[in-house]
Amino acid sequence: MAVCGGRPAQRRTGARRRNPPARVVLVVPPMRSRREDTVRRAVSSGTAEAEVVGVVGAAPGVAETALTTETARRAGAVDDELMTLYPDAACALDHDGPFQLLVATVLSAQTTDARVNTVTPELFERYPDPAALGAARREDLEAILRPLGFQRAKAGHLLGIGQALTERFEGRVPCSREELVALPGVGRKTANVVLGNAFGRPAITVDTHVGRLSRRLGWTTSKDPLRVEKDIAALWEPWRWTDGCHRLIEHGRQVCSARSPRCGQCTLLEAGLCPQVGV
């Protein structure tokens, strides 16, 4: 099992929601989070692991699409602007430690983070660790998970995760992407959420909001999550990856929605940072 570094996981109760101001004038440098500063120092000193900093199929700083220096400059400026708009942007799933975050992220498939947060208190009270989860009765899990939909499949995933963590990882959540994606119900997106938020390792999470905004901002033309991840990695320094995605998600929820984007209230457009591709 990979030995985990980075900052210890802290209790999260979801990202604090607030409506962004219609117009914002940037008068102070954006403030990075403690995690971003830690990652930036690690990358600068060369102590960050290549497996984390790199993205499969793309060398750091090199895009396979026709990305320009100007695109990279604008991408950094976008994150700086969003850092000011959403200083508290964070993972919206309530969790306390890697195990709870892993389980909550698996449950978030095909539903909302807010709905997941309604069932996890009872789930974690009854099954506080991998051993307890792996020994749960399937019908009991399905009853708890029914409000999320797909309860049979999700109960199966949780049973498998609990058993695998207990039998193969001494009850601990592994912190390598390779080991995470080998767990039942865990794909690259879930693995990246855990790596970035539980272990403080740079990771890009491409959900529907991140993909949509990346295309509208002209950072990528692809709808393939791995391709989008590569293109963002080529534009952003690794210290931006985890929290930068939270900021994109928040902006997607509050302003740049799928069907009726509020472009008239978007400071990115006002600042000349959004080309409105496809809008």
Average pLDDT of the segment spanning 248-276: 96
Write down the mean pLDDT value for the chain.
85
Six-digit token pair at 17? 């929601």
Calpha distance 204→229 (Å, rounded): 6
Residue 207 designated active-site: yes
Burial readout 178-194 (b: 16 or more C-beta within 10 A, e: otherwise): ebbeebebbebbbbbbb
Calpha distance 259→101 (Å, rounded): 30
Which pLDDT band holds residue 66 (cuts at 50, 70, 90)?
very low
Residue 96 designated active-site: no
Cα separation values, 214 from 46, 69, 195, 205, Å = 28, 16, 21, 12
pLDDT at 31: 54
- H-helix or E-strand spanning residue 260: none
In 3D space, the residue among 107, 155, 110 whose CA is nearest the CA of residue 134 turns out to be 155
Domains and CATH numbers, the chain: 98-199 (1.10.340.30)
| 181-200 pLDDT tens trace | 999 999 999 999 999 999 99
| 161-186 pLDDT tens trace | 999 999 999 999 999 999 999 999 99
Q: Which of 37-41, 154-158, 251-255 has the lowest mean pLDDT?
A: 37-41
pLDDT at 155: 99
Contact 235, 68 (CB under 8 A): no
pLDDT at 53: 37
Instruction: Compute, in degrees rounded to 10, the torsion defined by CA atoms 151, 152, 158, 159.
Output: 150
| 34-57 pLDDT tens trace | 555 655 555 455 544 433 334 544
pLDDT at 260: 93
In 3D space, the residue among 46, 11, 75, 20 whose CA is nearest the CA of residue 240 turns out to be 75
DSSP notation for 43-101? HHHT-S-HHHHSBTTB-TT--SS---HHHHHHHHHHHHHHHHH-TT----SEESSHHHH
Contact 218, 71 (CB under 8 A): yes
94, 189, 230, 231: the active-site residue = 189
Alpha helix (H) residue ranges in the chain: 34-45, 50-53, 69-85, 98-107, 113-126, 130-134, 138-145, 151-168, 177-180, 188-198, 208-216, 225-235, 241-254, 267-270
3-state secondary structure at position 275: coil
E runs forming strands in 157-234: none
In 3D space, the residue among 265, 217, 269 whose CA is nearest the CA of residue 244 turns out to be 217
Which pLDDT band holds residue 69 (cuts at 50, 70, 90)?
confident
Say what the pTM is. 0.81
The one-letter amino acid at 110: Q
Contact 100, 9 (CB under 8 A): no
pLDDT at 33: 59
Average pLDDT of the segment spanning 24-36: 49
Residues in the chain: 279
96, 113, 129, 207: the active-site residue = 207
The one-letter amino acid at 172: R
Kindly tell me if the per-residue pLDDT of 62 is higher than 50: no
